[in-house]
Structure 1
């Protein structure tokens, strides 16, 4: 939480000698928000992947994640959204809850719905496509579509001659990401062919192994693990993970990934409309939703949809996962702390992204979609992805990451400065 208060650096005592709700306004502050958001948003997917590879059911993990993801938005709203005295013209979080701003609220909640669908899809895509490739494809689609829409919604405050070359780099990264996945899948298939037939027999089962009483990080367990990247390692991983992928088409993973990318490309424009009312849906004189209030409504819909779907998935699972119950979820404490941490990281990361976007333009704030750079680091460090792969796979992987790095720098360089809203101008006059 202390990180959030670093940005509280300017107080306005003009006219009324009252503290006004804090907002990030400088380009430097916006970039700082983006950098913190980049780390948070690149780390939480690794935690969900870690739990799935340990054998924890994704329904249990996502329910835990949803709780703390919503709590993060509530904490931001009740702290940064409550700073200073409130008036109708400069409302704090609680006062805005009673204002006639439902058109903007609906945009915010629509953004939360598509984000929840995207996050839920990626949780399953991580198992089929891998953490880094899933993140690269979804993030690139988000930038290609979302940044283009945000550019026009933000009244072209970002430099087009810089922004769109950056978008093109993300598009190239999508193609490279798909190529990395195909090459790595071919490498794994070749490794498995070197094993005896009975070594991989029965791995298409949907049974989830029990890890009760076994610490997966203990030295005894680690000593039994095969080296990362070997065929035996792939077999061991398949045996202990909760989502079984052997024998399933790679199209499942890619379909989930592209669906998630399409969902992610819509949540930022929806949030943009919620906070800036470019289509003038609010009544004259009604203040725009503050970032903190919009983020609260955004997170409410994200929470409700995520919890509802995953409770259904407990009893009607997808992708041949085993059935479970709500009671079993409540009693499943294996990795719950990591799931809670993932929710906090995602919640604070999204909040910081929106704070930076409100100041410098949401198109530029999409630079946080460089999160695959962070996710790939965790994927290689924690999960041994791409170990002992072919030179072709390594070349494609490096090319993908280089293209991503270039795209991020270019997108941040396109940052602009948002003009005051029509409501703010009329208040000052």
Structure 2
């Protein structure tokens, strides 16, 4: 069984896991904005996560030398205590439910706010529980200030979202005011009559002696004729018939239309979705640590404990089962006004599937690295990967332009949030020593 024996190697695993876990919410947000049904996204994600995690656990668990305390993966899986196996699988089921809540929460809050709030709430609960369950291996003088820094990041994220919403509402109000002023100017220039302004703006009918003009009877019933050259001419000449600028392509329809609302209700709904998901995520991590450390004392004296790779495989199996159930429920009873679907509809939907599989692979790799680092450096210190929203915030701001038009105040708050998370990461990593 492959094992990490040094603190430096453990911290390296955790930092690599941090970057991998920071990318998958951005991939989800990108797919949702392109209109893919969320239940299709989550089912692809759940299947790929399960397959990648079980394969990685089997490969790493079988690799390297084995001993009585570190048996090969297949032997450890056969000898696993059913009660500890059930705890690990329940942890996987809980994190699947947490991830589907995060999926909908990110649609309302964005990558720059949703994952930071989710991870900070989860970090608060998980760090305290893991500290006591793992034999107090981490320095409390560094661990708990790291948790406090994560809580500060929550508050800054909420303030950043409020500032962004206020800036966008102000900009929308200014645009409406400009539209109203332009309409008033059009009325005054046409002699003060709205009817006259409309008549001036409408196209004039052709003159009767114009040979190219169709008769009134024909023009009232005949369908519009294609331009010279037919549809082929239109395809090769995307500009208008008058040579003007081409019409702007319509924006893709979002899968969760309610998330486009700029009002406070959408933000409150997003936080109401994210916070329960964070609590479930914390519970899943605690269940995993309890299963690996036998914190409940269910094993008889001398019985081998559940190793990290066996626990990870069982965790992934529970995740896959819950992902299947939740996705099927969301297909036939879609929440938040999303599109209804079916298993056959999912099987034929290949749009964005590669990105969904990629998100499952990223999460699988990040979780495996977190488990391996936690086994070597302590599971409380392994929670430093909860700072992965730092990566998501940067990608969301640069690639998805989530802070466009947000104003200097919101940008300042997001930068302060990133600083608080960076401090949290440093303190949690130092507590491992």
Q: Does the TM-score normalized on the shorter chain lie above 0.5?
A: yes
2:421 and 2:155 map into 1 onto residues whose CA distance is 12
Q: Deviations over 1:302-348 (max 9, x none)?
A: 11001111111111100011211211111111111010010000011
Shift of 1:86: 5.4
Does 2:289 align with 1:253? no
Question: Residues 309 and 186 of structure 1: is their aligned pair in 2 closer, same or farther, counting only changes over 3 Å?
Answer: same
Note if contact 1:103-1:282 (Cα within 8 Å) is conserved in structure 2: no
In the other structure, the counterpart of 2:351 is 334
Note if contact 2:18-2:387 (Cα within 8 Å) is conserved in structure 1: yes
1:397 and 1:78 map into 2 onto residues whose CA distance is 40
Shift of 1:278: 2.3
Shift of 1:180: 1.0
CA root-mean-square deviation: 2.0
Shift of 1:398: 1.3
TM-score (norm 2): 0.80
1:101 and 1:243 map into 2 onto residues whose CA distance is 43
Q: Secondary structure at the match of 1:383?
A: coil
**Which one is further off, 271-280 or 360-369?**
271-280
Shift of 1:354: 0.6
Shift of 1:85: 6.1
Note if contact 1:39-1:371 (Cα within 8 Å) is conserved in structure 2: yes
Q: What are structure 1's unaligned runs of at least 5 residues?
A: 1-20, 200-219, 227-235, 417-429
Which of 235, 238, 256 matches 1:243? Answer: 256
TM-score (norm 1): 0.81
1:362 and 1:185 map into 2 onto residues whose CA distance is 37
1:411 and 1:265 map into 2 onto residues whose CA distance is 17
In the other structure, the counterpart of 1:422 is none
Q: Deviations over 1:149-179 (max 9, x none)?
A: 1111111110111111111111111111111
Q: Deviations over 1:60-112 (max 9, x none)?
A: 11111111101111111221111246566532211122215122112211211
Does 2:59 align with 1:46? no
Q: Deviations over 1:270-321 (max 9, x none)?
A: 1111111122111222211111110000011111001111111111100011
**Which one is further off, 86-95 or 161-170?**
86-95
Q: Secondary structure at the match of 1:97?
A: helix
Note if contact 2:2-2:65 (Cα within 8 Å) is conserved in structure 1: no
In the other structure, the counterpart of 2:59 is 79
In the other structure, the counterpart of 1:263 is 280
Which of 315, 318, 321 matches 1:301? Answer: 318
Does 2:50 align with 1:70? yes
2:272 and 2:167 map into 1 onto residues whose CA distance is 21
Note if contact 2:97-2:326 (Cα within 8 Å) is conserved in structure 1: no
Does 2:157 align with 1:164? no
Q: Deviations over 1:2-29 (max 9, x none)?
A: xxxxxxxxxxxxxxxxxxx121121011
Q: Secondary structure at the match of 2:350?
A: coil
Which of 88, 93, 105 matches 2:73? Answer: 93
1:285 and 1:348 map into 2 onto residues whose CA distance is 32
Does 2:105 align with 1:125? yes
Note if contact 1:100-1:286 (Cα within 8 Å) is conserved in structure 2: no
1:86 and 1:362 map into 2 onto residues whose CA distance is 23
Shift of 1:384: 0.3
In the other structure, the counterpart of 2:227 is none
In the other structure, the counterpart of 1:57 is 37
Does 2:162 align with 1:182? yes
Q: Secondary structure at the match of 1:249?
A: helix
Q: Deviations over 1:212-231 (max 9, x none)?
A: xxxxxxxx9xx9779xxxxx
What count of residue pairs does the alignment treat as equivalent?
363
Which of 268, 280, 295 matches 2:297? Answer: 280
Q: Deviations over 1:34-82 (max 9, x none)?
A: 0110011001111111100111111111111111101111111221111
Select the structure of larger CA radius of gyration.
2
Question: Residues 224 and 90 of structure 1: is their aligned pair in 2 closer, same or farther, counting only changes over 3 Å?
Answer: farther
Question: Residues 155 and 57 of structure 1: is their aligned pair in 2 closer, same or farther, counting only changes over 3 Å?
Answer: same
Q: Secondary structure at the match of 1:31?
A: helix
1:339 and 1:270 map into 2 onto residues whose CA distance is 27
1:408 and 1:77 map into 2 onto residues whose CA distance is 26
